[in-house]
Copies of this chain bind each other. A is one copy, B any other.
């Protein structure tokens, strides 16, 4: 019999997708160049050439039976080893292959991590603004996503509200830095304070509370800044990573979960993820993608040329603040989260459509009165959009 829960989810439209579909339809109508589509977080730069070259080389020179053979359910051993070494070199954390589990992107990573460290009925805390897909990622496991209201001053963490929401049912905390949608990078101070509170709560309630860190934007960081690494602050931590943004490979569905070697049960965590995989349709990424990544990471943690995102950010940030928008300057990602010029962000974004500016209202991210700009697009397009932003701002100055 058809499952009513999933059937009912169909009426719950994803607003980002709806707006993106509107933008696509509008482009067909008036020409692609005339629509300023800032809806989707799809990378706009090509993947690193070493990935393309590596895959072509494998297809030309490896035996197909071994190239396309089954990957072990935890990932191809040499790939996990390469990753462990690369992470060790980069972060000084003593990862070994056994701490790495290969996933189909960050989505697969979070799906495994949440299942590994919670059980149905538990609470998982996250912080607004947050990526809206966290709701199905967490709630379909039987755990419950609890959202802490935003710190709208700096889009760091509202620690006071966090402390008030902590109780015995909280078994995991899910963070995302650099943050989608705000672009904020959680500072060392933020992570330190968060970790202290979590350690206190672990003691108080007598069980581990895992810190799950979703970090696909780790390499897209501005102003020469650094993104503090959660494992440096907290032992029971798990990093969920995707190569979708750093290597512009979102369609290849490749990422990993890395458990902090100091975490409780760190040595069996990946094997547990393998067991979880058996029930959710085996998220093991394609062998070609795994082996392609191995080649890219062999010498250093290579990325695509990501400089365009900072260039776009600077253009938009300077122009929009000049126009009177209030914006927390992004430390990374390819998103920006300005305050709308009226309190109703939905009305504001609807009005923006008059100027063919397609923006995503903030209530989807757990905050009212803001909007998200995904500026992973050509710089020329960003520059041309400023006129439209100016016209939109003028509406509310009148």
Give residues in A with beta carbon < 8 Å to B.
Answer: 1-7, 9-10, 40, 42-47, 52, 55-56, 59-60, 63-65, 67-71, 103-105, 107-112, 115-119, 122, 133, 136-137, 139-141, 171, 207-210, 248-254, 264-265, 268-269, 271-272, 275-276, 278-289
Which listed residue, B107, B119, B286, touches A251 by the CB 8 Å rule? B286
Known A-B contacts A65-B44, A275-B6; the reply to A283 vs B207 at CB < 8 A is: no
24 contacts between A and B (CB under 8 A): A1-B119, A2-B208, A2-B264, A2-B272, A3-B115, A3-B117, A3-B119, A6-B116, A6-B276, A7-B268, A10-B272, A10-B275, A46-B63, A47-B68, A56-B59, A105-B281, A111-B279, A111-B280, A140-B278, A251-B286, A251-B287, A252-B287, A254-B286, A280-B283
**Residue contact B272 to A253, C-beta cutoff 8 Å:** no
A7: chain B residues within 8 A (beta carbon):
265, 268, 272
In the complex, given contacts A3-B115, A46-B64, what are 8 additional A-B residue pairs having Cβ atoms less than 8 angstroms apart?
Answer: A1-B117, A2-B208, A5-B119, A9-B278, A69-B250, A104-B283, A111-B282, A140-B279
Which listed residue, B44, B70, B137, B283, touches A279 by the CB 8 Å rule? B137
A264: chain B residues within 8 A (beta carbon):
2
- Counting from the closest, the 6 A-B pairs by CB-CB distance are A140-B279, A111-B281, A251-B287, A108-B281, A136-B278, A46-B64
Q: How many copies does the complex hold?
A: 2
Which listed residue, B133, B276, B289, touches A286 by the CB 8 Å rule? B289
A251: chain B residues within 8 A (beta carbon):
67-71, 286-288
**Minimum CB–CB distance for A184 against chain B, Å:** 24
CA–CA, A60 and B56, complex, Å: 8
**Residue contact B253 to A285, C-beta cutoff 8 Å:** yes
A108: chain B residues within 8 A (beta carbon):
281-282
**Residue contact A139 to B3, C-beta cutoff 8 Å:** no
**Minimum CB–CB distance for A128 against chain B, Å:** 20
A278: chain B residues within 8 A (beta carbon):
9, 133, 136-137, 140
CA–CA, A254 and B281, complex, Å: 12
**Minimum CB–CB distance for A381 against chain B, Å:** 14
**Residue contact A281 to B110, C-beta cutoff 8 Å:** yes
**Minimum CB–CB distance for A45 against chain B, Å:** 7
A137: chain B residues within 8 A (beta carbon):
278-279, 281
Which listed residue, B10, B45, B249, B286, touches A271 by the CB 8 Å rule? B10
**Minimum CB–CB distance for A203 against chain B, Å:** 14
CA–CA, A279 and B140, complex, Å: 5
Query: Which chain B residue shows the least CB distance to A107?
Result: B282
**Residue contact A248 to B65, C-beta cutoff 8 Å:** yes
